[in-house]
Structure 1
């Protein structure tokens, strides 16, 4: 297999392995074709007003100030005197779109929605707004349109402000909420002179939805403990009071309006959300008005979080719900059909109604979830051979009929408590059954992927041994055996395809199940190599072989462990610090060995630093910028002493441009954060400089000389100028320390070559990347090369987790991108965040490229070892993926697998990028001098 074909095959295989996890774990749980279910008794309310205070934490609303007064006096008086209250428990990811879908549609959105930024509808779903007679909604253009788009007919109306209003650098983000309140007031005032609108507002089953984004925006910009965040809560409280009073007056205090105030998600102390920290998953829920229970006095109640005493609410019954339970509560209050995709359970304690109404509502809830179960079961039955189909036994057809008959009988006999209890049991069983059928093919698909994974890794190991070592002789396979083998595997493939065809399986199943066939065919073809290798290994010393395998296994386990505990990287780096002592390199290169040890210890500090919850430290970023300038000045002086290095003024100009870029970046960081602190917004000039720096950083290194240290230093300066703009604290130092260690690594690896008596060591000072591709210099692999590859993977993982953990959304601080933009833009901000993560990758990849060419080893052989190490790690995470436990545990296990698989594909691309950055040079057009005659 040629190199281009192998790379393409590798990318394809890893892409399939990566995508498979989305099909297995992230597929949409939604089904369609159910019959709408509605409570037959008249509802208590004619209309519902839903206030969603985006980003509002439960403790921020319920806690009292130091003088024992509430931040939200109106809402406090409601929960003490008029309504019911509790905590709505959200699931991860704690983001706006999934939170609103859970509240309004009653189901927890699958992660496939992330591909569209949680803005568009990846799947159509039913919602309270869709089931209403009329809905009017006000608020963010990121949230409201998705419910209007998913609605049937023309009865969901949205009023949104401009997307540019969502500015983290704005003087006062509370204006987003005052905009909503003002527009609702003017809307009701205008309805008095618009008979059509007036009539519509007086209909039954009306929903008014107010989405309030100011608290979330202020939380991101100033943190939840800031004065701005708390003041915004007060503004929302006053606004809710005014709107509630206005609506009551509009309808002549008819007592037919139900009010709900809640939040889509909370927020961490450091102003972010997305993960499963209690500050993100605990949101307030206050319900009052028509059909809602009054406050219930209790003598004692117990909750594990112990918040009640802190909030001074021990004597008022706290009614906690899951976020999806809010949707059936709203449906019950205004008498609309329960959203067909809802998995929520109606929280009866919130209702102030007859026992008969509660029992009927619960029965409707149970039938609605059972409808989903029946559709899911029939879908799975249709796509599975009858003799292979295993039904969900607790809810067989006869059991379903038995449950429904028994419940209906209890209601007729007025045994309402028994009916409610039976309905809850049916709901739990139906939800279990939904999960059972949703994960029905998981084991089968998982085994297919695992078999393909093992086959691919085995094949790569065989390629390394066959083409890059002296462990085996080249043995030609027998043509007759090859033909038999080919037809044998072709038959297996046809049997698998036929089996999938008669089950009408999705096309992706063909890919996952058929991929192992060609992979294992390629492995079995190398059977002579395997036999030859086994013979040679038996002749080696058994103890050495076992010891080597143990060391390799331990190294990979440390890398796997580092995904769960970043401090593992610190331990690894401290072990690396002793490498020169173990290998006697400290005798050959004393100074470099000492610098290596110091830099390893310095880099080992970063994984111990806090990832989240830290305050911005702009002086640290400025100090790093000045330090980078100082180092570049020393570098320039030393390089100018050697006339051969800068042969023309163009090379000097590039270096000066890069120094200017560092200086400008340092100024922009300082100036931008000062301007935002004074609430003056992002200066336009700073924004222009930032984007220009970002664009130029990818071009300037290609204008510098291709001598090893000059090109690598040029890459560092260019990337450092962008990294400074994306930094808010200690992480600004990380690329500088990492690059220092990479420079020393290159020189240390060259010293290590003497162990193999390689006298053709190039002098690094004069080494030129542009002339480093002579294939005749390439040598076979040694055991030391496995250590080099392991170092590379370890440094890549360190580059990834050294200053944070992208696996958790809540480690992202929006302040990181303030030099580029402050207006909320998830894709742009996400892209800049990815760039920040990529920069240390590029530095490590370029250093690894230098190690490859200076140690006279083909990039393919070292990269194949890297591929094996990362694939073994990925296989670990594939088996560690779980679909039980907390949602945070499930999300983390899946994200780890996705990260390692992405890393493997990413390293293939990084390898090519590193070659481009180190070997290519752009020549600027030079002026020709005209001599006068």
Structure 2
């Protein structure tokens, strides 16, 4: 079993890792020739203002008095420049947003492993191509562009990372710091000849990163006065900056200005997913080379924004976020960023038709260069007779389009040239996607073969362990086994040689060779398969088909629940009706009523909005009071049982109740302090971390009897969960735990109905430290239901109060009791623990179920493994590489979650075993007679 465990862990890590090789590899290539427009640019310098976390609607809309909260920007829209919406992509985070803005490509997900801070793959950017760049703002953003820049031409000025405090009294200082430093910079430049000379060069960039709006949005929500006042401050600051720049350069008319945002923000103050409030950001540009406002009588847009913002008379031009990079490069005449996939928005340019056509031609050649390099790289590592080129853009067509476009420019057919260049760009982008996903089908086939083989092997292992179909392998079976071994070795050698010829990465060897030994192990059990089929033939067809259909229906409900949370409600409603179709209702009415009540209560949670939409601290307090009330009832019950309750246990129970009270006080106090802009009190922070630290230790001091230990675990974890809650989700673990305890009683009662005697009542069962339970009985079909219940409850633990988007864009307010200074890894770790707490409660209940039902945990775990792997295979087929980026990201996340659940289940099982069976002694006292 230990060998199976190690192999199983390895296999699932391989399946889990395969998704990154298939879908998450970096799209970037290197070795292209820089491309720039061979005409004088309209601007000598560019000023880029990025208001981090600014929503388009909050900027453009008028306030309750009918006035703009950004009068300077509105004046630009009406009198000086052009405007529109910039459409971002998922994930709507600061790092990928700035990479799209400045480098022109949408960063791959591998960057999340480094917290969006480091450069997982080096890339070119506008800043790298500039003559000089000066930037001011957050160290998280500015340093990543300075890191990849060659030479000594990028100068960054950053504040300390501790300044990004969501609980600070006034976070607008993050913006005023930038404005003050820029003023000091230009004032000092007048007395510094070297700096003055650099500032008067061409092709220079000024980058002002303004983080205050984002920080205020996280701390106070985008609808707050603080968020909106911060917009006014930024608007006034920009007006002053523009004035300083124009005065410094003597109003030479050679400065281009761009104002935008990296991402928006949800109503509850988070970002990361694909809601329009996160993906729609403002884009306003003016100055050298930019068109003046264009009055129009009507505009064709599906949304109602123009009328709401009262901007229907000024032409709106929407762009994709990556299109901003080629626009900026064209304005100051630097080479387009090498990895840019943005399409130059020529309608923004106020220049000659020749300049527009030449710029568009440069854009097309720059993207075509990437296509050529990508095709060459793939061709070099593929056998000639297997290589399938991208049929829509063969080399002859490339040359034809390029020659034709150049001919149109010479003939002054500029519109035709621009149109042809756009066609070439779209084809090249399709070709880039084609070669980037070239090996996807080949890898997917091998992973699916491995999946099917491993699931089959786990199923056969269950059959061998419990059905005693074969007492051993006879001699007749051994002979073909030798032939089978030789065949598998030959297949493995052939596959390895094939991969070697194509110079494939080492991970390809694992994906392609892993199915060989797995299927070898399956085919060795041919006799078991044959005997099992024979056994099935003796089962009444209606009984077998009925059970199979119910099992398939259950799996499909689990799969659908990942897309539609209300499917969990449907499943829990079915659970509530389950006692009526069994003998449970007639034998144990009180247990059945408890099961029905808590199933219906839990069924309400998936119907509620995801966590974060409507924070309500009073619901958190209510959850704490319910826990205390339940604790008092349990305490009274235990005190009555004087023979089984000693002083040490009484003190422990009281201490855990005190911990819950402290959690409630700290949560309320922190919420109140932050609302008053007084920051996170140090005492609250210390208490929160102490409660978290002791939450996993205190249960180990409680008795190992089933009820006392499980309730001790609930109390400890609830004290931490309250600290991490902002609303109704604080009630979720309590209701889930109540249902879990009833489940334990239900399973023991169900087992007795089968005529199997249970030696102890649930209240007197004790957890044992043994790694496994002796196999008291054979496996029944009812045990498949138990395994399904576990998987269903695990999925409910995850989706009961949230979904993929809410996890990706979690509410930072959840961790404010622990820290308010921005720290992505620490905040992410706390949120992961919040997500895992319901999982731990379910796994501890599962530990009790396998104890009370007298079945080996190995058997139940194997069944859970089969169910979760079937679900994972579903999601593997449902992964999308088309449609919206939210659809793509969500489909991949589903697969990753199910695979993570299978892997994490092993560790959670170990954690649950530790929490339920281990007993610590204080001060060397002897163990209680209960242990």
Q: Same fold (TM over 0.5)?
A: yes
Quote the Cα distance in structure 2 between the aligned partners of 1:312 and 1:817: 39
Once the two structures are superposed, residues 426-485 of structure 1 have per-residue CA deviations (whole angstroms, 9 ceiling, x without a partner) of 101100100000000010001110111011101111101111234555444633322221
Aligned residues: 925
Q: What is aligned with 1:931?
A: none
Query: Match for residue 929 of structure 2?
Result: none
Shift in alpha-carbon separation, 1:102–1:198, aligned structure 2, 3 A: same
CA displacement at 1:339 relative to structure 2: 0.2
Q: Distance in 2 between matches of 1:651 and 1:718?
A: 14
Q: 1:671-686 counterparts in 2 under 5 A? A: 671-686=669-684
* CA RMSD, 1 decimal: 1.3
Q: How many Å separate the matches in 1 of 2:371 and 2:438?
A: 13
The structural deviation recorded for 1:366 is 0.4
Contact 1:408/1:419 (CA < 8 Å) preserved in 2? yes
Map of 2:127 onto structure 1: 129
Q: Residue deviations 1:195-217, cap 9 Å, x none?
A: 11111111100000000011111
Q: Kindly indicate whether the alpha-carbon contact (under 8 Å) linking 2:752 and 2:758 is maintained by their aligned counterparts in 1.
A: no
Partner of 1:145: 143
Q: Hey, what's the Cα distance between the residues in 1 that align with 2:276 and 2:474?
A: 63
Alpha-carbon deviations, 1:670-729, whole Å to 9, x = none? 111011111111000000000000000011111111001001011111101100100111
Distance 1:474 1:644, change over 3 A: farther
Alpha-carbon distance in 2 for matches of 1:333, 1:92: 28
Give me the whole-angstrom Cα distance separating, in 1, the residues matched to 2:67 and 2:733: 48
TM-superposed deviation, 1:397: 1.4
The residue that corresponds to 2:714 in the other structure is 716
Gap change, CA 1:776 and 1:242, over 3 Å in 2: closer
1:708 and 1:773 map into 2 onto residues whose CA distance is 17
Distance 1:13 1:572 in 2: 31
SS at match of 1:769: coil
Shift of 1:778: 2.5
| Residue number in structure 2 paired with 1:256 | 254
How far residue 68 of structure 1 moved from its aligned partner, in angstroms, is 2.0
Partner of residue 625, structure 1: 624
Once the two structures are superposed, residues 893-914 of structure 1 have per-residue CA deviations (whole angstroms, 9 ceiling, x without a partner) of 1110111110111111111111
Aligned to 2:297: 299
Match of 1:371 among 366, 369, 377: 369
- 1: CA distance, partners of 2:31 / 2:125: 15
Of 775-784 and 590-599, deviating more is: 775-784
Change (3 A) 1:774 1:134: closer
Residues 337-356 of structure 1: pairs in structure 2 closer than 5 A: 337-356=335-354
- For 1:610, the equivalent position in structure 2 comes to 609
Distance 2:152 2:643 in 1: 75
Partner of 2:76: 78
Alpha-carbon offset, residue 300 of structure 1: 0.8
CA distance in 1, matches of 2:135, 2:603: 52
Greater Cα offset, 539-548 or 446-455? 539-548
Choose 801-810 or 371-380, whichever is displaced more. 801-810
- Please tell me whether the aligned partners of residues 774 and 856 of structure 2 are also in contact (alpha carbons under 8 angstroms): no
Q: Structure 1's 773 and 247: CA in aligned 2 closer, same or farther, altered over 3 A?
A: closer
Partner of residue 858 from structure 1, selected from 846, 856, 859? 856
| TM-score of the pair, normalised by structure 2 | 0.98
Deviation at 1:772, TM superposition (A): 6.9
- Distance, in Å, in 1 between the alignment partners of 2:407 and 2:102 is 32
Cα deviations by residue, 1:83-132 (Å, 9 ceiling, x for unpaired): 01011110111111000000000000000111001100000000000000
Q: What is the CA distance between 1:756 and its match in structure 2?
A: 2.1
Question: How far did residue 418 of structure 1 move?
Answer: 1.1
Distance 2:474 2:797 in 1: 43
Aligned to 1:38: 36
Q: Is the 8 A contact 1:465 1:472 kept in 2?
A: no
**Separation in 1, partners of 2:293, 2:878:** 46
Structure 1 residues 476, 855: CA separation in 2 closer, same or farther (over 3 Å shift)? farther
- 1:498-520 Cα offsets, whole Å, 9 max, x none, are 00000000111111111111110
Q: CA deviation at 1:629?
A: 1.4
Tell me the SS of whatever aligns to 2:135: strand
**1:753-792 aligned within 5 A:** 753-770=751-768, 775-776=773-774, 778-792=776-790
Q: Please list the CA deviations of residues 392-438 of structure 1 after superposition, one character each: whole Å capped at 9, or x if unmatched.
A: 12221111111111111111111111111111111011001000000
Taking the aligned partners of 1:600 and 1:548, their CA distance within structure 2 comes to 23
Partner of 1:427: 425
Structure 1: gaps of 5 or more residues = 929-933
SS in 1 for 2:343: coil
What residue is the counterpart of 2:388 in the other structure? 390
Within 5 A, what are the aligned runs for 1:376-775?
Answer: 376-470=374-468, 473-476=471-474, 478-612=477-611, 614-646=613-645, 648-770=646-768, 775=773
Distance across 1 between alignment mates of 2:805 and 2:439: 26
SS, match of residue 287 in structure 1: strand
SS at match of 1:147: helix
The whole-number CA distance in structure 2 between the counterparts of 1:110 and 1:212 is 24
Instruction: Check conservation: 1:668, 1:690, Cα contact below 8 A.
Output: yes
Cα contact 1:38–1:364 (8 A) shared by 2: yes
The unaligned stretches of length 5 or more in structure 2 are: 927-931
Displacement of 1:614 after TM fit?
2.5
**Are 2:825 and 1:799 aligned?**
no
CA distance in 1, matches of 2:503, 2:715: 56
User: What is the distance in 2 between the residues matched to 1:832 and 1:473?
Assistant: 51
| Partner of residue 242, structure 1 | 240
Return the alpha-carbon distance in structure 2 between the equivalents of residues 192 and 924 of structure 1: 71
Whether contact under 8 Å (2:769, 2:918) holds in the other structure is: no
Closer/same/farther in 2, CA of residues 636 and 47 from structure 1, 3 Å limit: same
For structure 1, which segment, 654-663 or 609-618, has the greater mean C-alpha deviation from structure 2 after superposition? 609-618
Give me the whole-angstrom Cα distance separating, in 1, the residues matched to 2:106 and 2:594: 52
Further displaced range: 83-92 or 150-159: 150-159
Any conservation in 2 of the 1:214–1:232 contact (CA below 8 Å)? yes
Residues 260 and 774 of structure 1: is their aligned pair in 2 closer, same or farther, counting only changes over 3 Å? Answer: closer
Q: Is the 8 A contact 1:804 1:811 kept in 2?
A: no
Q: How many Å separate the matches in 1 of 2:67 and 2:358?
A: 41
Q: Give the direction of change, closer, same or farther, for the CA distance of 1:52–1:378 in structure 2 (3 Å limit).
A: same
CA contact (8 A) 1:694 1:722 kept: yes
TM-score, scaled relative to structure 1: 0.98
Aligned partners of 1:475 and 1:529 also within 8 Å: no
